[in-house]
Structure 1
């Protein structure tokens, strides 16, 4: 059933609907007509409220979890509330400071991304997510360490001081001096270049036969650079923090579903695709429950916001995943603020 526009609801229906939704978001429990009459201040009798709730149920905005129960908002009802009725609550000074502190700390950008995501998770009581393109390493030094007659360890040190190792195959009978020659050449010629720039330069030098290398060293250098290319320079990096909060928020019935969702998060592919879909445009995207197949069973929602670099291009997406009854009014602005903060981080590190 399509979600009716908010203009289709009269004032009385809007008031009752708002009470049902806000009570659910606060307690997770269904709300009955008598409770609404006693606590809402709407000055309506329980009978009048029941009539309004019946109309809202026919519109698909609320439903009874079982016979003689109160009413809960449906996912369609939550969508209508979030899009048309929610009043956002901006992060307070303490919350803003907690997020900004992670960005101002010295160190690699990836560490700041992880710390900021953890802070967002703690403040929102959800799992925090951030996805960015894998940044190309800038070479400072490269060397080859023999492991056996047919294996060597290619060691790359980036300008940021990060060290990565890859095992590569050696041609039979390669002299250890060739490993030293290849490492020295790469450090001298390729320092300060990204991996893609290094591959291009090596290809050009070898193609024009300007590289003063023998065939064994040339092959070793090409193979050493190739292992990072094969590892996927452009693969997105997905950081997830606070997964345990999903279990904390789950009741016993949902626990198995949440456990399955955590397994999906460990695989990361589907959640990465979801966040990638949120990178189109500037708006904050909210996925509620079955609106995305990944959350159709777990009863979860995702709030995601892209952030941009100095050139205006989208360079990442940040968000949270939590129960469908999360505090949207508080969490949506918090995700927006985190996205703006990460945009400054990316600009600083550019």
Structure 2
């Protein structure tokens, strides 16, 4: 546990480092902390904070910088979150319209990036793999074209390789059975029902229907982009990230491959409110110099995705946290009610 004096000095040190990007020395702390302490006393407290792993001393400077552990203590217990300026809340509210959910999420990512000056990310809802009808077309002896029509009228095609040849009448029978019994259902639910019901069907179309369901599920879920990213180029200008080529490569691998990003955003969807993942302490964040501030968003009371900001650990958390929080609330409101309800910040 830190006493009040140590807390004030740690808070001042981190705030100065976030603002200036330079290691913070005892003179700076003496000027900005508001405490009437001698330089020797400040140096003693800093030595204690360093021993606790909350700050570290770069080789090139007499000053100190925060460690991931120091940032964690800061954001959990010392941070004073600033409410968004009135105009910023209006700006977010005015641009988030629910006419097209996909565009709404792209707009949210763009707003998060513009307001934070870092990268905005939104994990899109997993699309329900529903269909209106399917058809089979015979291409050759053991190759079929599966045509899937979604409830919105989108058409997806997949080629199936089968173990045996099927006659046109068998293909029509299989398609009619699927359309009659399962149209409008999610393919995941269909797969469960098929396990129970196919025993009563003839073996010759059982295998075909199972193949069709698996291919359809893939076709309808692969199409959706799992993460919308905006402003990743902003991070090129952040000295803490761009002064090392290996760091930049790992950063852009994260954005390009997206698998790690999806895991990170997915993990945060299981909790309420804003969460902060600080590099160096979270295995989900690939770099010590990176932090991710995220919050889940809902539709009609059910969490369907997460959104947030990716930036350096040296970010102004007191500004970024309310940006993420209010954007998540307004996206939830837009998806639930058709238009954002007014949200008073403060």
Determine if the TM-score, normalized by the shorter chain, exceeds 0.5. Answer: yes
The C-alpha deviation readout for 1:14-63, integer Å capped at 9, x for no partner, is 33322211111122211223334456665655455434433433333222
SS in 2 for 1:14: helix
Question: Which residue number corresponds to residue 7 of structure 2?
Answer: 14
- Work out which of the residue numbers 212, 237, 252 in structure 2 matches 1:262: 252
Question: Which residue number corresponds to residue 211 of structure 2?
Answer: 223
Report if aligned partners of 1:133, 1:237 keep a CA contact under 8 Å in 2.
no
Q: Which moved more, 1:282-291 or 1:261-270?
A: 261-270
Counterparts of 1:237 and 1:345, CA distance in 2: 21
Counterparts of 1:56 and 1:219, CA distance in 2: 66
CA distance 1:347–1:323, change in 2 (3 Å): same
Report if aligned partners of 1:261, 1:298 keep a CA contact under 8 Å in 2.
no
Q: Quote the offset at 1:232 in angstroms.
A: 9.2
The 5 A counterparts of 1:81-160 are 81-101=74-94, 103-107=96-100, 109-131=101-123, 134-160=126-152
- Work out which of the residue numbers 50, 53, 60 in structure 2 matches 1:60: 53
CA distance 1:306–1:34, change in 2 (3 Å): same
Question: Which residue number corresponds to residue 157 of structure 2?
Answer: 165
Q: Under a length normalisation based on structure 1, what TM-score does the superposition of the two structures give?
A: 0.78
CA distance 1:201–1:262, change in 2 (3 Å): same
Counterparts of 1:100 and 1:188, CA distance in 2: 44
1:35 matched to 2:28? The reply is yes
Question: Which residue number corresponds to residue 344 of structure 2?
Answer: none
Corresponding residue pairs, total: 336
Question: Which residue number corresponds to residue 312 of structure 2?
Answer: 323
SS in 2 for 1:137: coil
1:303 matched to 2:293? The reply is yes
Q: Which moved more, 1:133-142 or 1:196-205?
A: 196-205
CA distance 1:215–1:76, change in 2 (3 Å): closer
1:344 matched to 2:338? The reply is no
Counterparts of 1:81 and 1:343, CA distance in 2: 29
SS in 2 for 1:318: strand
Q: Quote the offset at 1:66 in angstroms.
A: 1.7
**What is the CA RMSD across the aligned residues, in angstroms?**
3.7
1:238 matched to 2:226? The reply is yes
Report if aligned partners of 2:296, 2:303 keep a CA contact under 8 Å in 1.
yes
